[in-house]
Chain A
């Protein structure tokens, strides 16, 4: 076969293979096809962003619809930087340990923090209990509160800005939150009521980096799905860094000396991908009646006489 023909044959084969691969990736029922509609779609998976070129980051601008799910924002096993898992058991629910001994990236609890941890009964991770025994406030449709809204079920968040606010619209539980940027100080926490989401103020530290601090959270919430606790004295710092037009990085640092021996990062340069401006965020309310039905039909009967491992 002449060299030219051989080259053409190889090229044709490569093109056909690529075409078949693309068709396979877009086969009916896959995420890509499901995302082609305009309503009620799930966000793209991580592979959709591989090798994607982006325009430069805009100056002092976080606005957009952001996909946190693609990089693991659901965080079902505990915060991304400290999942409550044993080495060698990346997914399995071993469960029923009294504490977090043996987890890959342990947290340094104070005695008070450890006692608080043990009162929280999660359904996942090394301390998992049966679904009927879980006392996760989210399972009863309590608000996630802040910072858990960024540390569990962090799926899609729309961020918008006004001259004095950053506004975050979270998909999970259809929750919104305000970060004030008008220079106001924190309220006097001896007087101000504790809030589910706390009191947040923030500022631009450079043209592409925005930092927010939050205090005044109530003590009803967990930090994550593995039942990590926090005290009312906790201070949380978020650092948003706009890497380019399509990429936002978020670092979340927990500072709660009453419960933890030192500050720790729950998210570290966690990547959010920008979604198209016409992406419709599907509602995700917590329905108390449906949750009660679930517990009655599934959660409670599934927990009866569960044998110990």
Chain B
């Protein structure tokens, strides 16, 4: 039950902030009709105004590594959703659902479930207190 509630909370959280609050740099470059799920290794998490962003290395079918960047909301928005400046650390394994830019570059926006080190996000991570992981938008 708790697990389902977490997932439900997560879905609401992500869908709530993903589109309308990424307000600064616009949405016209993104393809809202298609969600993409990518899994990879976190290389950097930038907690910044007016957007934060997550960098991760993702291996494709041929084994080639693509450097993905996923943008999220601003820290004051994400803080309200339980994310923080230390939500992700280099080496973390993440699976994120995003919308991708129309030109096919490995750039996306958080637009759905996030799984961090095998657990739904937000979740308590590495002993940090409270709800944990966050994304942001740069």
Contact pick for A76, options B20, B28, B51, CB 8 Å: B20
**What mask results when residues 100 to 133 of chain A are scored 1 for a CB within 8 Å of chain B, else 0?**
0000000000000000000000111000111110
| Chain B interface SS verdict (over half) | loop
Q: Is B38 an interface residue (CB 8 A)?
A: no
Q: Is A29 an interface residue (CB 8 A)?
A: yes
A138-197 residues with Cβ-Cβ distance < 8 A to B are: 138-139, 152-153, 155-156, 171
B19 → chain A closest CB, angstroms: 6
Q: Is A27 an interface residue (CB 8 A)?
A: yes
Q: B27–A123 contact, CB under 8 A?
A: yes
Q: Which residues in B have their C-beta under 8 angstroms from that of A77?
A: 20
Q: Which residues in A have their C-beta under 8 angstroms from that of B80?
A: 31, 34-35, 41-43, 45
Q: B29–A285 contact, CB under 8 A?
A: no
A63 → chain B closest CB, angstroms: 22
A32 → chain B closest CB, angstroms: 10
Please tell me the size bucket of the interface on B: 35 or more
Q: A307–B103 contact, CB under 8 A?
A: yes
Most buried by A among B19, B25, B51: B25
Q: Is A278 an interface residue (CB 8 A)?
A: no
Q: Is B124 an interface residue (CB 8 A)?
A: yes
Provide the bound-state CA to CA distance between A128 and B84, in Å.
Answer: 30
Tell me the A residues contacting B by CB distance below 8 Å: 24, 27-31, 33-35, 37, 40-43, 45, 74, 76-77, 91-93, 95-96, 122-124, 128-132, 134, 136, 138-139, 152-153, 155-156, 171, 225, 282, 284-287, 290-291, 293-295, 297-299, 301-307
Those 7 A-B pairs whose CB atoms lie nearest each other, nearest first: A42-B80, A123-B26, A294-B138, A76-B23, A29-B122, A29-B131, A93-B27
